[in-house]
Structure 1
């Protein structure tokens, strides 16, 4: 082989290696989220790749549960390390990040948020009038019901507390067992459910024993004898299974059930609507996650580009169609497949009645004690007002541990 041929071959190899090498650390975006297995699969197959190609960047994404993020960020900040460039966090776990000064103020970038993004999602990301987070994934519970069973007994889906109680009584009378599902497993599923009932009664959930709280617990106590026995194990994941097995005919759950029950399980009798209203109106807790950028992020610019990418119509359509996630954007719902139109109309209606829980660092303590109060009052028939006062005192004592 001649010298010129050898030289050309070596030059070709150098160019190929330099052009095909992975991006160095300066072009790596480290992202943390708390996702399920199928959710990670969709992000890795449909979302990360186009962004990496567009910005010549490598995404390193890994799981951190919401309860662990603040501890991780604080440890990195104290040690002077920069490992996380962007995080997604549950919208009920933000107070601790603010209290510990771990998140970057994003106020100067608010004007870059696309206009179709729902305005109340932006408002929920503000603390002390500063935009500390960016919208990522809104979530709201809707009601799923077995339309075949309701048609069989000539029943209409309940739209008020009174109707919910009447339907629960009727189904138990006709079938010999309760068919309405409450989330009585405890923890966050039960606490979120109670939060909505208290709002619907005009109460302030964290007060624990105001008139609205008392009215909500008295109603739940009255309803309990007529609900499904499966309620004791009902939470976000088991609710889908209980509905699919037709062990219950009506239950609240998050929109991921749309994909599971209607698309995967192919259950055409599962129908949806936004829910019922209480004496003071219809209210639904808006859950989900938001984006934040650590104060010591190495890749603030890339992190902001990734947020803008997630906010785009193309990505929002993927998240809705592949995962059944409610969209941040109002202009995405018009493009949903025909089988998703009815359930996502229910999601949109629920979001119109949506409220954000007051962000407190001591939410875990609230969830624990309100669940224990539910067990004693609703299931074990303890006196309502006296029991609520006991657990209010327990919460007040434990709150100081979080505030400090």
Structure 2
């Protein structure tokens, strides 16, 4: 090998090591620095429809990630599947889901199975920002295991023009409401009230709310206020449309499309009613007592027990309650705002003022097992009192005695 060939080879070797040195000096520190600053993340399981997912993925999550430098991995898991999924993860000692969405009726089961973290810290955050009435009934003693994402109310809708004809004033009580219905019926020769009586669950929810409105305890059929509730239901049944036996909370608003009902009892989850031919006003439950309460259904968010990202999970929950996000839920999804001041001046917003009144004393059904027991008793009472026309006192006494016998048998 001559001199020039040898020199050329050494020069190429030097260039190689020179480039290697430059690469290691410039790029390797960046690589290792990036690895040492991996962004924290949380995994969230939602059960949302397409429109809700669009808002969550396109507008809410990206902004949270940008502000907090936390990656959010959101997946779709049906509420009915969450418990089994968490149990499977628990058996592998690997809790991969940090936040999950369930129906509030499932909550007791998750608490009993120790699947949820205590997030009482959220209560401190929410004191001045959130309608506290929505939080109080979700506590188990001094522990808070969930917060609402979306709420639904149950109660009466009526048409504004029909209301003007009979001068109804809401909130009303049982007696005044029946009197108003009688006047309306006399003046118009008929009254068309659609009630959600096509399935057992809808019947049970309707009766549960009516007992709450009477100031009673839904699980106690021996209470005198429960008796008052069934007296009202029996009177109301006399004016119910035959369509009531086909209606439930899923389809009842469809009956307004053809303009037939004067009143209907449905679920309220949106501050906009959609394409209806009549202007409807939701007035909630009819107060039967001074201390009446309102049934609230909700999809609630929980933090998984043993989550290694509890702090970041709480940040995400707090973000969902921020003014901007709650306003987005209201403007884009028409959800009822859970934070104060989102709507602004409410003087011209009659429907929202009514909602605030309704939410003074909300109650959640947190135990699905207890509700199933109530559902059985309520449907028995419905059939015997409203359909078969049996005596109210006798039926309620019979149902209450059966419940006591069952309870004493289980205690043995």
Give the TM-score band, short-chain normalised.
Answer: 0.7 to 0.9
Contact residue 362 and residue 402 of structure 1 kept, 8 A: no
Change (3 A) 1:169 1:47: same
Change (3 A) 1:225 1:86: same
Contact residue 141 and residue 347 of structure 1 kept, 8 A: no
Residue 250 of structure 2 is aligned to residue 265 of structure 1: no
Contact residue 119 and residue 145 of structure 2 kept, 8 A: yes
C-alpha separation between the residues in 2 aligned to 1:303 and 1:195?
A: 34
Structure-2-length-normalised TM-score: 0.80
Aligned to 2:11: none
Aligned to 2:389: 381
Larger radius of gyration: 2
User: 1:161, CA displacement in angstroms?
Assistant: 1.2
Change (3 A) 1:81 1:335: farther
C-alpha separation between the residues in 2 aligned to 1:75 and 1:257?
A: 35
Contact residue 168 and residue 179 of structure 1 kept, 8 A: no
Change (3 A) 1:367 1:27: farther
**CA displacement 1:229-288 (0-9 Å, x = unmatched):** 2222332221211123222122233333532x2xx3164622333442114454311221
Residue 325 of structure 2 is aligned to residue 312 of structure 1: no
Change (3 A) 1:231 1:135: same
**CA displacement 1:39-63 (0-9 Å, x = unmatched):** 3333233322322333341422213
- 1:96 paired residue among 109, 121, 125: 109
Q: Number of paired residues?
A: 387
Contact residue 230 and residue 247 of structure 1 kept, 8 A: no
Aligned to 2:234: 221
User: 1:334, CA displacement in angstroms?
Assistant: 1.5
Contact residue 126 and residue 132 of structure 2 kept, 8 A: no
The range that moved more, 227-236 or 278-287, is: 278-287
C-alpha separation between the residues in 1 aligned to 2:234 and 2:410?
A: 31
**CA displacement 1:181-233 (0-9 Å, x = unmatched):** 22213344322221222123232110123211122112212221211222223
Aligned to 1:369: 377
User: 1:133, CA displacement in angstroms?
Assistant: 2.4
Change (3 A) 1:390 1:157: same
Residue 269 of structure 2 is aligned to residue 256 of structure 1: yes
**CA displacement 1:303-352 (0-9 Å, x = unmatched):** 111101101011111112222222221221316796xx221111111112
Structure 1 residues 74-153: aligned runs within 5 Å: 74-113=87-126, 115-151=128-164, 153=165
Task: Provide the alpha-carbon RMSD of the alignment.
Answer: 3.8
Residue 168 of structure 2 is aligned to residue 156 of structure 1: yes
Change (3 A) 1:81 1:276: same
Residue 356 of structure 2 is aligned to residue 348 of structure 1: yes
C-alpha separation between the residues in 1 aligned to 2:138 and 2:290?
A: 27
C-alpha separation between the residues in 2 aligned to 1:296 and 1:252?
A: 42
Contact residue 103 and residue 292 of structure 1 kept, 8 A: yes
- 2:219 paired residue among 200, 203, 206: 206
User: 1:175, CA displacement in angstroms?
Assistant: 5.0
C-alpha separation between the residues in 1 aligned to 2:226 and 2:322?
A: 41
Structure-1-length-normalised TM-score: 0.81
